[in-house]
Amino acid sequence: MKVLEVKGLKKKLGKREIIKDISFSIEEGEIFGFLGPNGAGKTTTIRMLVGLINANEGSISICGHDLKTDTEKALKEVGAVVENPELYKYLSGRENLMQIARIRNISKDQVNETIKLVGLEHRIDDKVRKYSLGMKQRLGLAASLLSNPIIDDFHCCDNCFFSKTIASNSAPASARVSAAFLVSNLCFCHCAPIIANSS
Protein backbone atom coordinates (compact mmCIF):
# COMPACT_ATOMS: atom_id res chain seq x y z
CA MET A 1 0.00 0.00 0.00
CA LYS A 2 1.24 3.50 -0.82
CA VAL A 3 1.13 5.56 2.37
CA LEU A 4 2.47 8.66 0.61
CA GLU A 5 2.33 9.57 -3.08
CA VAL A 6 3.64 12.83 -4.53
CA LYS A 7 3.08 13.73 -8.19
CA GLY A 8 4.47 16.70 -10.13
CA LEU A 9 5.04 18.90 -7.07
CA LYS A 10 6.14 22.47 -7.83
CA LYS A 11 6.61 25.50 -5.60
CA LYS A 12 7.59 29.09 -6.34
CA LEU A 13 8.62 31.74 -3.83
CA GLY A 14 8.22 35.00 -5.66
CA LYS A 15 9.69 34.44 -9.11
CA ARG A 16 12.08 31.73 -7.97
CA GLU A 17 11.07 28.12 -8.54
CA ILE A 18 12.15 26.28 -5.38
CA ILE A 19 10.65 22.86 -6.12
CA LYS A 20 10.76 21.68 -9.73
CA ASP A 21 8.41 18.82 -10.54
CA ILE A 22 9.10 16.27 -7.75
CA SER A 23 7.39 12.88 -7.85
CA PHE A 24 7.89 9.89 -5.52
CA SER A 25 5.95 7.42 -3.40
CA ILE A 26 6.48 5.59 -0.10
CA GLU A 27 5.20 2.07 0.49
CA GLU A 28 4.02 0.69 3.81
CA GLY A 29 6.96 -0.51 5.90
CA GLU A 30 9.51 1.65 4.07
CA ILE A 31 12.13 3.93 5.59
CA PHE A 32 12.55 6.67 3.00
CA GLY A 33 15.53 9.05 2.99
CA PHE A 34 15.10 12.46 1.30
CA LEU A 35 18.56 13.86 0.62
CA GLY A 36 19.92 17.14 -0.69
CA PRO A 37 22.36 19.95 0.08
CA ASN A 38 21.38 23.01 2.10
CA GLY A 39 19.00 25.21 0.12
CA ALA A 40 17.82 22.40 -2.16
CA GLY A 41 14.20 22.61 -1.00
CA LYS A 42 13.92 19.76 1.49
CA THR A 43 12.23 21.82 4.20
CA THR A 44 9.91 23.47 1.68
CA THR A 45 8.86 20.02 0.48
CA ILE A 46 8.20 18.82 4.04
CA ARG A 47 6.11 21.92 4.75
CA MET A 48 3.98 21.11 1.72
CA LEU A 49 3.65 17.46 2.79
CA VAL A 50 2.25 18.42 6.19
CA GLY A 51 0.01 21.20 4.89
CA LEU A 52 1.90 24.19 6.28
CA ILE A 53 2.22 25.73 2.81
CA ASN A 54 0.47 25.04 -0.50
CA ALA A 55 2.10 23.75 -3.66
CA ASN A 56 1.70 25.77 -6.86
CA GLU A 57 1.21 22.58 -8.86
CA GLY A 58 1.02 18.85 -8.26
CA SER A 59 -0.72 16.55 -5.81
CA ILE A 60 -0.01 14.93 -2.43
CA SER A 61 -1.91 11.82 -1.33
CA ILE A 62 -1.58 10.31 2.16
CA CYS A 63 -3.09 6.84 2.59
CA GLY A 64 -5.34 7.53 -0.38
CA HIS A 65 -6.56 10.90 0.91
CA ASP A 66 -5.80 13.98 -1.18
CA LEU A 67 -4.09 16.59 1.01
CA LYS A 68 -5.79 19.52 -0.72
CA THR A 69 -9.39 18.23 -0.76
CA ASP A 70 -9.39 15.91 2.29
CA THR A 71 -6.88 17.61 4.57
CA GLU A 72 -8.14 16.41 7.95
CA LYS A 73 -8.18 12.72 7.02
CA ALA A 74 -4.87 12.99 5.18
CA LEU A 75 -3.05 14.50 8.18
CA LYS A 76 -4.82 12.54 10.92
CA GLU A 77 -2.18 9.80 11.04
CA VAL A 78 0.91 11.92 10.31
CA GLY A 79 3.52 12.83 12.91
CA ALA A 80 6.04 15.53 12.01
CA VAL A 81 9.07 17.37 13.33
CA VAL A 82 9.97 20.14 10.89
CA GLU A 83 13.49 21.45 11.57
CA ASN A 84 13.89 22.03 15.34
CA PRO A 85 11.02 20.86 17.55
CA GLU A 86 9.14 23.53 19.50
CA LEU A 87 9.28 22.58 23.18
CA TYR A 88 8.47 24.17 26.55
CA LYS A 89 11.97 24.68 27.92
CA TYR A 90 10.80 25.35 31.49
CA LEU A 91 9.05 21.95 31.63
CA SER A 92 10.65 18.53 31.82
CA GLY A 93 10.69 16.22 28.83
CA ARG A 94 7.97 14.10 30.45
CA GLU A 95 5.80 17.15 31.15
CA ASN A 96 6.10 18.21 27.50
CA LEU A 97 4.91 14.79 26.33
CA MET A 98 2.11 14.66 28.90
CA GLN A 99 0.75 17.98 27.61
CA ILE A 100 0.36 16.38 24.18
CA ALA A 101 -0.96 13.14 25.68
CA ARG A 102 -3.73 14.94 27.55
CA ILE A 103 -4.87 16.78 24.42
CA ARG A 104 -4.87 13.59 22.33
CA ASN A 105 -6.19 11.27 25.05
CA ILE A 106 -3.04 9.11 25.02
CA SER A 107 -2.35 6.83 27.95
CA LYS A 108 0.56 7.25 30.37
CA ASP A 109 1.74 3.74 29.46
CA GLN A 110 2.01 4.74 25.80
CA VAL A 111 3.97 7.85 26.78
CA ASN A 112 6.39 5.69 28.79
CA GLU A 113 6.80 3.23 25.90
CA THR A 114 7.63 6.09 23.54
CA ILE A 115 10.14 7.60 25.98
CA LYS A 116 11.93 4.26 26.13
CA LEU A 117 11.81 3.89 22.35
CA VAL A 118 13.73 7.13 21.77
CA GLY A 119 16.22 6.43 24.57
CA LEU A 120 15.38 9.32 26.92
CA GLU A 121 14.28 7.35 29.99
CA HIS A 122 17.32 8.47 32.05
CA ARG A 123 16.88 12.19 31.32
CA ILE A 124 13.14 12.51 30.71
CA ASP A 125 12.47 14.26 34.03
CA ASP A 126 15.15 16.93 33.47
CA LYS A 127 14.09 20.39 32.31
CA VAL A 128 14.27 20.71 28.52
CA ARG A 129 16.49 23.79 28.85
CA LYS A 130 19.23 21.40 30.05
CA TYR A 131 18.91 19.16 26.97
CA SER A 132 21.46 19.02 24.18
CA LEU A 133 20.25 19.54 20.60
CA GLY A 134 20.24 15.78 20.03
CA MET A 135 18.13 15.20 23.14
CA LYS A 136 15.66 17.86 22.01
CA GLN A 137 15.40 16.14 18.66
CA ARG A 138 14.74 12.81 20.39
CA LEU A 139 12.01 14.44 22.47
CA GLY A 140 10.53 15.99 19.32
CA LEU A 141 10.56 12.56 17.70
CA ALA A 142 8.80 11.10 20.75
CA ALA A 143 6.13 13.81 20.48
CA SER A 144 5.55 12.97 16.82
CA LEU A 145 5.26 9.23 17.60
CA LEU A 146 2.83 9.54 20.50
CA SER A 147 -0.32 9.28 18.41
CA ASN A 148 0.96 6.13 16.64
CA PRO A 149 1.15 7.79 13.20
CA ILE A 150 1.08 5.95 9.88
CA ILE A 151 3.77 8.27 8.49
CA ASP A 152 6.43 10.06 10.50
CA ASP A 153 8.27 13.02 8.92
CA PHE A 154 11.30 14.56 10.54
CA HIS A 155 14.56 16.36 9.95
CA CYS A 156 17.33 14.77 11.95
CA CYS A 157 20.99 14.91 12.83
CA ASP A 158 21.31 11.67 14.80
CA ASN A 159 20.40 9.79 11.63
CA CYS A 160 21.53 6.28 12.51
CA PHE A 161 19.74 6.36 15.86
CA PHE A 162 16.47 7.51 14.32
CA SER A 163 16.53 5.08 11.42
CA LYS A 164 17.33 2.16 13.74
CA THR A 165 14.60 3.24 16.15
CA ILE A 166 11.91 3.34 13.47
CA ALA A 167 13.01 0.04 11.95
CA SER A 168 13.40 -1.82 15.22
CA ASN A 169 11.24 -4.92 15.54
CA SER A 170 11.52 -4.56 19.31
CA ALA A 171 9.65 -1.26 19.27
CA PRO A 172 6.33 -1.42 21.11
CA ALA A 173 3.33 -1.70 18.81
CA SER A 174 1.89 1.59 20.04
CA ALA A 175 5.02 3.46 18.94
CA ARG A 176 5.64 1.84 15.55
CA VAL A 177 4.94 3.64 12.28
CA SER A 178 4.00 2.19 8.91
CA ALA A 179 6.54 4.35 7.07
CA ALA A 180 9.22 6.88 7.98
CA PHE A 181 10.32 9.89 5.93
CA LEU A 182 13.83 11.00 6.93
CA VAL A 183 15.30 14.28 5.72
CA SER A 184 19.04 14.94 5.70
CA ASN A 185 22.00 16.26 3.76
CA LEU A 186 23.87 13.06 4.74
CA CYS A 187 23.58 9.74 2.91
CA PHE A 188 22.63 6.98 5.32
CA CYS A 189 19.47 5.33 4.06
CA HIS A 190 18.90 2.40 1.68
CA CYS A 191 16.04 4.14 -0.14
CA ALA A 192 17.24 7.70 -0.64
CA PRO A 193 16.14 9.89 -3.57
CA ILE A 194 18.24 13.03 -3.85
CA ILE A 195 16.84 16.48 -4.42
CA ALA A 196 19.24 18.64 -6.41
CA ASN A 197 20.10 22.17 -5.37
CA SER A 198 17.48 24.47 -6.87
CA SER A 199 19.52 27.67 -6.69
> How many C-beta atoms surround the C-beta of residue 57 within 10 A?
12
pLDDT bracket for residue 36 (50, 70, 90): confident
What percent of the chain is modeled with pLDDT above 70?
72
Q: Is residue 191 part of a domain?
A: no
Q: Does 194 fall in a domain? A: no
Does residue 85 form part of some domain?
yes
pLDDT score recorded for residue 198: 44
- 197 within some domain: no
Judged against a pLDDT cut of 50, whether residue 174 lies above it is answered with no
Where does the pLDDT of residue 179 fall: very low under 50, low under 70, confident under 90, or very high at 90 and above? low
Q: In terms of DSSP bridges, do strands 2-13 and 16-27 run parallel, antiparallel, or are they unpaired?
A: antiparallel
Q: What is the model's pLDDT at position 126?
A: 96
How many domains is the chain built from?
A: 1
Does some domain include residue 35? yes
Q: Please give the Cα distance from 81 to 87 (Å, whole number).
A: 11
What are the pLDDT digits (tens) for 96-131? 999 989 988 889 999 999 898 888 999 999 999 999
* 75 located within any domain: yes
Q: Which range of residues forms the domain containing residue 25?
A: 2-184
| 198 falls within a domain | no
> What CATH number does residue 54 fall under?
3.40.50.300
Distance CA 159, CA 172 (A): 20
User: What is residue 78's predicted lDDT score, i.e. its pLDDT?
Assistant: 79
